[in-house]
Structure 1
C-alpha cells in the first residue's frame, strides 16, 4: 500500500561505471526513473527513500541492506527494493515483495535484461495465495498487518481458515475455508467494527463516503471529532472511509481541507443543483435552504459521493458542523 503523496517513480542507485551503464538501460525502459550515482548516494538516500515507489540498487546485496536499514519503517508503507548485480545477472526482490511490488518489479527487470529473478517469499515459492497481495489488488486497507503471518502460515501448512466477507472480495478455494471458530486464524472483510477472535486479519474495503456541512471557518478539530465520534457510535471503521464531500461553496474551507489532508483521502465538492436533485433526504434543513437554496448538504453530499449509495448514518451535528455517511455500492464487487 502506497503512502499518500508518494511519487509513482523509481530510483536507481549505482556506485560503479558498469552499474551506471545498466542503470541507463533500465531507465530507458522504465517510466519516471531517476538515476543516483555514488556522488549523491549517501546524501540523497535518507531524503528520498520514502518519496519513491520503488528503488533499484545496482550493487552487492550487503551494501544495499546496510544503506536502507535505517530507513525501513513498515511493510505496508515501505517502497519496493530490488537489488541487481552490475552485470545484470540477478534481480533480487529484497523489501516489500507483495505490498510494495518488489516481486513484480524483479520479474519486470528480469524481462528487460534477461536476469534471473530471485523471489524468496514463501507463498510465491509454494504457490499459495498471498493474502497481502490479494488485499492490495482489491484496495482493502490492512488494519492489523501483524496478523498477516497467521493467515500465511495457515495457507502454507494447509490449515483451514474462516472468512467473513459478505461482499466476496477474498476468493479462496472452498477446501481452505472453515466455519468461524476462535481457535483458528480468520479474515474479516467489512467496514463494520466488531469484537473479533485472536489471529483475525482485519481488511477494510473503501466503501464509505462522508458528507459534511459546516459554518464558515469551523475548525478541523471540531469536524474531525464529529466524524470520529459518529463512526464509533455507528460501529463503522474510519479506515473504510474513501472520501469526504461537501457543497462547492465550501471548496476553500480551511477546516475541510485540513481534515482531508490529515486523513489522506480525497475531498470532493458538488454544486447546489446536484445536491438539490437528491431525493429522499431524511433531515432537510430550512436554515440551509434559506441561506444557500438547498435542503441538505451533508446527507445529499454523502449520497452523491457514494454514487447514489445508501445513507447509513443520518445527519449528526455539533454547534458548527453536520455529518452523514453513505455506503458506496460501486466499491463492492
Structure 2
C-alpha cells in the first residue's frame, strides 16, 4: 500500500469575469497535476453557491491544500480570518484580481506552497506573482521552502524563523548532513556552509577550512545551525533538525494486538535508536498481517505507508537476521520484523547492514528499524 494523493485546490470567484478566470486557473493547475474544484458566489449566476463566504471557507480550510479567491484581497481576508492557526498547518491561500493581473500569496507562502503556486500561475497565465516574504524579496535561501521541497519535517519553527532572520542579517548558516546522507545541486553561496558528518573521525568536514580553523582555535566543537538527518544527535533547543521520512519499521505481532501496544512498541524502538518519530515513513510486515487492525490504525493516525510481503520474499533476503524456529514454523520465515523492514527500503536496502535497530520484543510485538540512503536537493545558488 503506497500513499500518493494529488494536491487539492478550491477556487472561489465572485463575478462573471472572475468565473472565466477561475476556469483558466483550474485548467492550468490540472495540467500540473492538481485536483481542482471551482465555485462562484455571484448574484445572477445560475450556479452561484448559497452558503456564506465564511461557511464555504470553513468547509475547506482544514481539508484542502490550497484555497484561491478571485476578487478583492479584503474578501479573502474576511473569509479565512476565523480559521488561521499556524504556518505549519494552514493551507496555501492566494488571491487573484478578476483580470488576472496580479497573484498574491496571502498565507503559507513557504510551507504551504503558496509562493510556488503563485509562480506557477505567473508562468502559465502571465499573472504577476506578488511575493512579500523576506527571503524571496532578497533572493536568499529559505529553510522552510527547502524543507517543503525535500519533504523534511521541521523540528522547531521558532528556530527556523531565527535562521531566516540570521540569513537576512547577512550571517552564514552551517548545515550538517548526517553521515550516509547525500546533497545534490549545491552551489557555493555566501549564506550557507555545507558540512558532512564523519562519526568515525568524530568530527565535521567542510568544503574549505574555515570551520576547522575556528574549532582548533576555540578547542571546542563548532555546532551546526541545521542538522539534516534521522537521528537526534543535538539538544533540540540549540540546533534545528530537518528530518527525512525514510526510516522503515518492520513489525510482527499476535493477532488482534491492541493499538496502544503497537504504538508503545514502535515509539520505544525509535527512542532506543535515538531516531525522530518524524523519520518514520512506513510500516512493513508479512502478508498475513495485512489486515491487522491495530497496525492499520497506527498507520492511519500517523499518515504512514503500510506494505506487506509474502514469506518467500522475506526469506530470500541475504544477511544475518535474528531467527526464531517458532516464527518459522508458524509463518514460514524465521524473522518477520527485521526482514520486512529491509524489504521496505526497496532498492536502498542493503541486507542486514541497513538495520538501525534489530528485533525488539515486548507484549507480543516485535519491531525492527531499517534506514536506507537518502538525499536532499538544493536549489541553484
- Identify whether the pair has TM-score above 0.5, normalized to the shorter chain: yes
Find 2:302's aligned residue among 246, 251, 263: 263
Shift of the 6–78 alpha-carbon distance from structure 1 to 2, 3 Å rule, reads farther
Shift of the 185–191 alpha-carbon distance from structure 1 to 2, 3 Å rule, reads closer
Residue 127 of structure 1: aligned partner: 139
Find 1:253's aligned residue among 292, 295, 298: 292
Residue 14 of structure 1: aligned partner: 13
Q: Take 2:183 and 2:335, find their aligned partners in 1: how far apart are those partners?
A: 34
Shift of the 296–48 alpha-carbon distance from structure 1 to 2, 3 Å rule, reads same
TM-score, structure 2 normalization: 0.80
Shift of the 302–122 alpha-carbon distance from structure 1 to 2, 3 Å rule, reads same
Residue 94 of structure 2: aligned partner: 82
Shift of 1:184: 8.4
Report which stretch shifted further, 177-186 or 213-222: 177-186
Shift of 1:133: 1.2
SS of residue matched to 1:246: strand
SS of residue matched to 1:275: helix
SS of residue matched to 2:251: strand
Residue 28 of structure 2: aligned partner: 29
SS of residue matched to 1:51: coil
- Paired residues of 1:212 and 1:323 also in contact (CA < 8 A): yes
Shift of the 234–107 alpha-carbon distance from structure 1 to 2, 3 Å rule, reads closer
Find 2:235's aligned residue among 196, 205, 214: 196
Aligned-residue RMSD, C-alpha: 2.3
**Higher fraction of helix:** 1
Residue 366 of structure 2: aligned partner: 322
Q: Which runs of 5+ in 2 are unaligned?
A: 42-48, 194-209, 377-381
- Paired residues of 1:214 and 1:321 also in contact (CA < 8 A): yes
Q: Take 1:71 and 1:183, find their aligned partners in 2: how far apart are those partners?
A: 42
Q: Take 2:7 and 2:310, find their aligned partners in 1: how far apart are those partners?
A: 32
Deviations 1:275-305 (A, max 9, x none): 1112324310111111111111001011111
Matches within 5 A, 1:287-298: 287-298=326-337
TM-score, structure 1 normalization: 0.91
Shift of 1:197: 6.8
The number of residue pairs the alignment matches comes to 329
Shift of the 218–249 alpha-carbon distance from structure 1 to 2, 3 Å rule, reads same
Q: Which runs of 5+ in 1 are unaligned?
A: none
